[in-house]
Amino acid sequence: MIKIATIVGARPQFIKAATVSRAIAKRQGVTELLIHTGQHFDVNMSDLFFNELDIRKPDVNLAIGGGTHGQNTGRMIESIEGVLLDYNPDHVMVYGDTDSTLAGALAAVKIHIPIAHVEAGLRSFNRLMPEEINRVLTDHISDLLFAPTETASKNLRQEGINETKVHLVGDVMYDASLYYRERSLSPKYVKLIDGTPFYLCTIHRAENTDDPKRLKAIVSLINQISKDTNVVLPLHPRTRLAIKNMDKEAFSEGVKVLHPVGYLEMAWLLANCQLVLTDSGGVQKEAYFYQKPCVTLREETEWVELVEAGCNQLVSPVDPNAANSIQQMSSVQIEHNCSIYGNGDAAGKLLSLILD
Ligand code: UDP
């Protein structure tokens, strides 16, 4: 029996791991231990996903969250190492680019357990982002690197990573979007008049929330565009707190502020919105999966293919012309060519590679 230890901790990792765990459950001769670091602990950011995506209860919950990057990462490494020494898996599987990813990889490499990194090779080339450090370090100590795109695979080659370790399998987020879209649910806590256009917005990147000047610009930009089109804004706890800490910042009436929604409500919002406005990595791609134009409120993106194809536009929130750019983007028709992200079976492919 091959034993895989899966390490998750943050919202996007629950979605990715749900897809791979489903593939694992269908195979003979392989078993999985699910370790939740506790990085995301709010009910709306964690439990909700386990319930609605049918992910089984984590076998281990380390309950490590709420600290600084250093505190969280350090405590996670120590605790994960203990679990791995007990379970003695054949592979450790880590996802994406959070502190849980890096901690899992560091704990495994020191005790010589091979690491499989799902969503390897993504680069923003901005080392001020905590995610960029997590990705680069995890990739360089991983044994199996599952790249979601051609660009990601090229980035790894350019960093000198041995080609035999790199596998272009497609994006498990695309698998997830195909599987769950039919189960989408209309959101409970927002009243939208049928057929009234709205923009879907998510903001949570540290570069936007931790810089008061940028955050202020984002709030005023959202308020400005909501004068013409309603904006539905499921607000990440980090962003909610940062806005609360700012003097006199508030959203206007046209902005429908929600607590973070579940993935199935998110699927409904993506399917029904007119445009997506985000700084999320996952949501940029989902806009494309649902054939919606996207504006990314960042200076750079890891998912460059969509910008090159004209489906996504990078707009700096401090650009005085930002509202016009969003307006113009909202009428762009999106062509669907999903081969960029594989054929919807990234999870099956990567699992076969691990088992072989
Ligand atoms: N998401 C969600 N509810 C929300 C906001 C996002 O289910 O209120 C989903 C979204 O559809 C995507 C994932 O969370 O699948 C993206 O996670 P996030 O933006 O936190 O992280 P990133 O992708 O930037 O790493």
How confident is the model at residue 356, as a pLDDT? 87
Q: Please spell the DSSP secondary structure of 165-214, one letter per residue.
A: GEEE---HHHHHHHHHGGG----TT----TT--EEEEE---HHHHS-HHH
Nearest CA to ligand 1 atom 7: 263
Task: Reply yes or no on whether 40 is catalytic.
Answer: no
How confident is the model at residue 281, as a pLDDT? 97
8 A C-beta contact, residue 173 and residue 194: no
Distance of alpha carbon 39 from alpha carbon 45, whole angstroms:
10
- Say which residues have a Cβ less than 8 Å from residue 75's Cβ, sequence separation at least 6: 62, 64, 67
148 lines ligand 1 (CB under 6 A): no
How confident is the model at residue 193, as a pLDDT? 67
Q: How far apart are the first and last CA of the chain?
A: 13
Neighbours of 297 (CB within 10 A): 27
Closest ligand 1 atom, residue 270 Cα: 11
Distance of alpha carbon 282 from alpha carbon 171, whole angstroms:
10
Among 204, 236, 259, 336, which one carries the catalytic annotation?
A: 204
Query: ∠ CA(20), CA(24), CA(28), 5° rounding?
Result: 165
Neighbours of 128 (CB within 10 A): 9
Site to substitute for ligand 1 among 99, 174, 202, most atoms within 8 A of C-beta:
202
175 lines ligand 1 (CB under 6 A): no
How confident is the model at residue 318, as a pLDDT? 96
8 A C-beta contact, residue 137 and residue 127: no
- Token pair of 17, please? 């791991």
Greatest CA span in the chain, whole angstroms? 59
136 lines ligand 1 (CB under 6 A): no
Q: Looking at 12-114, which runs of residues are DSSP E strands? A: 30-36, 60-61, 91-95
How confident is the model at residue 33, as a pLDDT? 98
Per-residue pLDDT of the chain (356 residues; tens, 9 = 90+): 999 999 999 999 999 999 999 999 999 999 999 999 999 988 999 999 999 999 989 999 999 988 999 999 999 999 999 999 999 999 999 999 999 999 999 999 999 999 999 999 999 999 999 999 999 999 999 999 999 999 999 999 999 999 999 999 999 999 999 999 999 999 888 777 667 899 999 999 999 999 999 999 999 999 999 999 999 999 999 999 999 988 777 899 999 999 999 999 999 999 999 999 999 999 999 999 999 999 999 999 999 999 999 999 999 999 999 999 999 999 999 987 768 999 999 999 999 999 98
171 lines ligand 1 (CB under 6 A): no
- CA 256 from centroid of its chain's CA atoms: 22
Rounded distance from Cα 83 to ligand 1 centre (Å): 28
Q: Please spell the DSSP secondary structure of 101-159, one letter per residue.
A: HHHHHHHHHHTT--EEEETTT---S-TTSHHHHHHHHHHHH-SEEEESSHHHHHHHHHT
187 lines ligand 1 (CB under 6 A): no
- Report the predicted TM-score, pTM, of the whole model to 2 decimal places: 0.96
List Cα–Cα distances, 241 to 235, 246, 249, in angstroms: 10, 9, 12
